[in-house]
């Protein structure tokens, strides 16, 4: 089941499936957010914006509106 990255709870690891908004696609790709890549949600600000994620071996901060454009799926264990 696909979810938006913005909805994933802290500590959960997911896999990127697709993007909703192609305007932000290139920016996210340059930061290592590509389909098939695993992402862990590390922190969320007190009001939920921004969020900190781990992707491609480094930490990245995303605005909530950017995270809403990333569709992810849970990783089967």
Q: What is the pLDDT of residues 33-43, one digit of tens each?
A: 889 999 999 99
* 69 pLDDT more than 80: yes
Give 15's pLDDT tier (boundaries 50, 70, 90): very high
- Which is it for the CA torsion 53, 59, 62, 68, positive or negative? negative
Q: What's the fold here for domain 2-74?
A: SH3 type barrels. (2.30.30)
If you average pLDDT over every residue of the chain, what do you get? 89
Output the pTM of the full model.
Answer: 0.86
d(C-alpha 72, C-alpha 8), whole Å: 9
CA distances from 71 to 17, 46, 65 (A): 6, 23, 12
Domain locations in the chain?
2-74
For the chain, the maximum distance between any two Cα atoms, rounded to a whole number of angstroms, is: 33
């Amino acid at each position: 089941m696909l979810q938006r990255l913005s909805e994933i709870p802290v500590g959960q690891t997911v896999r990127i499936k697709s993007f909703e908004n192609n305007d932000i696609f290139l920016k996210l790709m340059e930061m290592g957010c590509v389909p098939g890549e695993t992402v862990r949600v590390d922190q969320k600000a007190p009001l939920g914006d921004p969020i900190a994620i781990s992707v491609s071996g480094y930490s990245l901060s995303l605005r909530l509106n950017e995270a809403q454009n990333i569709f992810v799926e849970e990783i089967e264990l």
